A and B are shown apart, each in its own frame.
Chain A
Amino acid sequence: MRFVLTGSGASRGMALGRARLQHPSRYLVDERPLPEDEVDSELDRLKRAIEIAREELALLRDKLHGAMAREVAEFIDAHSLMLADRELTSGIFDLIRRGRMRASAALNLQRDRLVAVFEAMDDPYLRSRKEDVEHVIARVHAGLQRESSSAERKLAERVGEILVTDTVAPSELVPLAELGVLGVVLSSGSRVSHGAILARSLHLPMVVAAHEALSTIHDGDLILIDGEAGEVIAHPSSADLARFRTWQRESLQRSRQLALLAERDTRTHDGAEIALYANAESAADIALARASGAAGIGLYRTEFLFLQRRELPDEEEQFLAYREVVLGMGGLPVTIRTLDLGADKADSSGLALDDEENPALGVRGVRLSLRHPELMRTQLRAILRASAYGPVRILVPMICAAEEMHQMRALLKESARDLRSAGHEIAENVELGAMIEVPAAAIALAGMIHELDFVSIGTNDLVQYTLAVDRNNDHLANLYDPLHPAVLCLLAQIIAIGKRAGKRVSLCGEMAGDRKHTALLLALGLTDFSMHPGVLLEVREMIARLDLAKLRKHSAALLRAPTRERIDRVLARMGA
């Protein structure tokens, strides 16, 4: 039966696919004893479910592509072998046959027995592989719970999977996208969480805060999601499917249209030149940045080098990664941000303090770097060595005070001196700038602007800290408002101070890539934007429609507006 869930749209685009519920604990478990005359049919149900699970794994394996494909394929092979292994299955069949348990209860008992064996293992990695058992059992559970009609199942076999779960870690998203997952539905979460930001950058449609999703959608149901409207449609009607096909056609046309803009300069309608930089962390981002005609990389995140591993990356490994980016950009400037391990980014390298009471206000960004000067020296040396291959700028996150900049500058100078005396070729001058994302830095900027070679505004955190709103808290999503008068006031001030001092000011938060905010940012005087390369052409198209001189006339009115409502009115007058 068709039904619609409404959440909030976190990443645009539609996707049609099979729901894949990632919540083993939520599978219905029937604990009633099994009557003797149902034993055979229950055994058949289980055999069928195992068969379905194996077929799904085989389908999934065929769809793999991308950098993680090999590793993911190995996991799939392991899981397929486990499903075929009598040591796993015969125990379950026994529990049904002799223990008179229903298949779902037998699955759980067998899972618990096996998990207990893993939990007793000494080696932490091997112990963590109880996940493989849980994953395989969950797939069989899913096979038991197929509810779709056979016609729908046929269609569902041809499309990929849409993950339905409660939360998803940013680090899980990339492998998921590479696995061919078409979209994500979360029962909680907010559109400004890291996961949502990453989904947008991966062009992975995502609906968050669809609160009923886990209790109403079954594994294997055909679902249609609309990441713009924030809608999840289970068992879509033929009208829904028609709407999806129309969207597919239009989005294809639209991307062809946008592709024409790739070679153009970025200019407003009245001819003012604007610079559009790309945010990047992967080779795919760099390629897309080049293909979209970005002016350079405005924010190169380095955290991925440090995450999901046991030891820290050494200078050589980092140098090779940074050089790759610099070479990839072919002479365009690359802004490399020093390590910004924060509270909401999983960390396995043991750097961040665990169990901080309030990690958003804890040891992160430059605070972490200055506590581990060796770590920072290694990173700065690697960046400096990459500077021999093309223009590089260094961006320091979470700056609060001029003293932190002094210390970073001293580390940079020392690293440059050491490298030169060791005979390394490095660029004459590597600019050092600060990320302005803490209100203190924004407010005190006039006093420290002379310490900075450039400024980059990180609106995601600036908004969160200015408004005291946790951006991962979905109960506060409506309070997380980048157009709050206080935020606009800070943005205007940062841009004006930078301009007066003759320093470049760019903005690299989510706002920069959101066409809804382009007119506003131009009105406030911003000329350098940095955004995910996937949205760069859309923003270029928007800028070409706007008249800078006209927009600038509204800036005073924007900054005078005392309420969000009045701000919206000014924006409406601006035609934004």
Chain B
Amino acid sequence: MIERDIVISNKLGLHARASAKLVQALHGYQASAFLVCRGREVNAKSIMGVMMLAAGLGSPLTLRTDGPDEEAAMNTMVDLFERKFDEGQ
């Protein structure tokens, strides 16, 4: 199991479209993936879970992956957050 702490930096936060990109990006990884925000933990492969996390701009987030390809899954997630979900802001 690995964990990484990040802060949400895209302007609109984890809204439906960004959540969809996260779920789609994780598709195909065997590792389980979770997001933890303000003590709540959700399955990062469930769009409803990610949306309901209500994580807006500036929210601190812990990413956690667990499984055979946990490293690759983590990198995929971190990359997406760093690219601000390709939203340009």
**B-binding residues in A (CB < 8 A):** 71, 74-75, 77-79, 81-82, 85-88, 114, 117-118, 120-123, 125-126, 129, 132
Closest CB in chain B relative to A317 CB, distance in Å: 13
Interface centre among B51, B54, B56 (most CB of A within 10 A): B51
**In the complex, which residues of chain B have a beta carbon less than 8 angstroms from the beta carbon of A88?**
48
Alpha-carbon distance between A117 and B49 when the two chains are bound, in angstroms:
11
**In the complex, which residues of chain A have a beta carbon less than 8 angstroms from the beta carbon of B13?**
123, 125-126
Alpha-carbon distance between A88 and B49 when the two chains are bound, in angstroms:
9
Is the beta-carbon distance between A117 and B16 smaller than 8 angstroms? no
Is the beta-carbon distance between B20 and A126 smaller than 8 angstroms? no
Say if the beta carbon of B36 comes within 8 Å of chain A: no
Is the beta-carbon distance between A87 and B48 smaller than 8 angstroms? yes
Closest CB in chain A relative to B78 CB, distance in Å: 21
Alpha-carbon distance between A79 and B56 when the two chains are bound, in angstroms:
20
Say if the beta carbon of B57 comes within 8 Å of chain A: yes
**In the complex, which residues of chain A have a beta carbon less than 8 angstroms from the beta carbon of B20?**
74, 77-78, 81
Closest CB in chain A relative to B14 CB, distance in Å: 7
**In the complex, which residues of chain B have a beta carbon less than 8 angstroms from the beta carbon of A87?**
43, 46, 48-49, 52
Alpha-carbon distance between A79 and B15 when the two chains are bound, in angstroms:
12
Q: Which of B34-58 contact A (CB under 8 A)?
A: 43, 46-49, 51-52, 54-57
Given contacts A74-B20, A75-B16, contact A125 B49 (CB under 8 A): no
**In the complex, which residues of chain B have a beta carbon less than 8 angstroms from the beta carbon of A78?**
16-17, 19-20, 47
* A-B residue pairs in contact (CB < 8 Å), sample of 5: A75-B17, A85-B47, A86-B46, A118-B52, A123-B54
Given contacts A87-B46, A88-B48, A129-B51, contact A82 B56 (CB under 8 A): no
Number of residue pairs spanning A and B whose beta carbons lie under 8 angstroms apart:
66
**In the complex, which residues of chain A have a beta carbon less than 8 angstroms from the beta carbon of B55?**
126
Is the beta-carbon distance between B15 and A126 smaller than 8 angstroms? yes
Say if the beta carbon of B75 comes within 8 Å of chain A: no
Is the beta-carbon distance between B15 and A82 smaller than 8 angstroms? no
**In the complex, which residues of chain A have a beta carbon less than 8 angstroms from the beta carbon of B24?**
77, 81
Residue of B16, B23, B57 near A129 (CB, 8 A) is B16
Alpha-carbon distance between A78 and B51 when the two chains are bound, in angstroms:
10
Is the beta-carbon distance between A129 and B15 smaller than 8 angstroms? yes
- Which residue from chain A places its CB closest to the CB of B43 in the assembled complex? A87
Is the beta-carbon distance between A126 and B17 smaller than 8 angstroms? no
Say if the beta carbon of B61 comes within 8 Å of chain A: no
**In the complex, which residues of chain B have a beta carbon less than 8 angstroms from the beta carbon of A132?**
16, 51
Known: A86-B46, A114-B48, A129-B15. 10 other contacts (CB 8 A): A75-B17, A79-B16, A81-B23, A85-B47, A85-B49, A122-B54, A122-B56, A126-B14, A126-B51, A132-B51
Is the beta-carbon distance between A125 and B56 smaller than 8 angstroms? yes
Is the beta-carbon distance between B56 and A126 smaller than 8 angstroms? yes
B interface residues, how many (CB within 8 angstroms): 22
Is the beta-carbon distance between B47 and A74 smaller than 8 angstroms? no
Is the beta-carbon distance between B12 and A82 smaller than 8 angstroms? no
**A-binding residues in B (CB < 8 A):** 12-17, 19-21, 23-24, 43, 46-49, 51-52, 54-57
Alpha-carbon distance between A81 and B27 when the two chains are bound, in angstroms:
11
Is the beta-carbon distance between B52 and A117 smaller than 8 angstroms? yes
- Which residue from chain A places its CB closest to the CB of B12 in the assembled complex? A125
Q: Which 5 A-B pairs have the closest CB atoms?
A: A123-B56, A78-B20, A87-B48, A78-B16, A121-B54
Alpha-carbon distance between A29 and B16 when the two chains are bound, in angstroms:
27
- Which residue from chain A places its CB closest to the CB of B51 in the assembled complex? A129
Residue of B21, B48, B54, B57 near A82 (CB, 8 A) is B48
**In the complex, which residues of chain B have a beta carbon less than 8 angstroms from the beta carbon of A120?**
54
Closest CB in chain A relative to B49 CB, distance in Å: 6
Alpha-carbon distance between A120 and B15 when the two chains are bound, in angstroms:
15
Interface centre among B13, B14, B20, B46 (most CB of A within 10 A): B20
Is the beta-carbon distance between B16 and A82 smaller than 8 angstroms? yes
Is the beta-carbon distance between A125 and B15 smaller than 8 angstroms? yes
**In the complex, which residues of chain A have a beta carbon less than 8 angstroms from the beta carbon of B52?**
87, 114, 117-118
Alpha-carbon distance between A47 and B54 when the two chains are bound, in angstroms:
28
**In the complex, which residues of chain A have a beta carbon less than 8 angstroms from the beta carbon of B49?**
85, 87
Is the beta-carbon distance between A82 and B17 smaller than 8 angstroms? no
Alpha-carbon distance between A82 and B43 when the two chains are bound, in angstroms:
14
**In the complex, which residues of chain B have a beta carbon less than 8 angstroms from the beta carbon of A123?**
13, 54, 56-57
**In the complex, which residues of chain A have a beta carbon less than 8 angstroms from the beta carbon of B19?**
78, 81
**In the complex, which residues of chain A have a beta carbon less than 8 angstroms from the beta carbon of B21?**
74
Alpha-carbon distance between A322 and B48 when the two chains are bound, in angstroms:
42
**In the complex, which residues of chain B have a beta carbon less than 8 angstroms from the beta carbon of A79?**
16
**In the complex, which residues of chain B have a beta carbon less than 8 angstroms from the beta carbon of A85?**
46-49
**In the complex, which residues of chain A have a beta carbon less than 8 angstroms from the beta carbon of B23?**
81
Alpha-carbon distance between A75 and B57 when the two chains are bound, in angstroms:
20
- Which residue from chain B places its CB closest to the CB of A75 in the assembled complex? B17
Interface centre among A81, A121, A122, A125 (most CB of B within 10 A): A81
**In the complex, which residues of chain B have a beta carbon less than 8 angstroms from the beta carbon of A125?**
12-13, 15, 56
**In the complex, which residues of chain A have a beta carbon less than 8 angstroms from the beta carbon of B51?**
126, 129, 132
Alpha-carbon distance between A118 and B17 when the two chains are bound, in angstroms:
15
Alpha-carbon distance between A120 and B14 when the two chains are bound, in angstroms:
15
Alpha-carbon distance between A187 and B17 when the two chains are bound, in angstroms:
31
Alpha-carbon distance between A114 and B52 when the two chains are bound, in angstroms:
8
Alpha-carbon distance between A74 and B17 when the two chains are bound, in angstroms:
6
**In the complex, which residues of chain B have a beta carbon less than 8 angstroms from the beta carbon of A121?**
54, 56
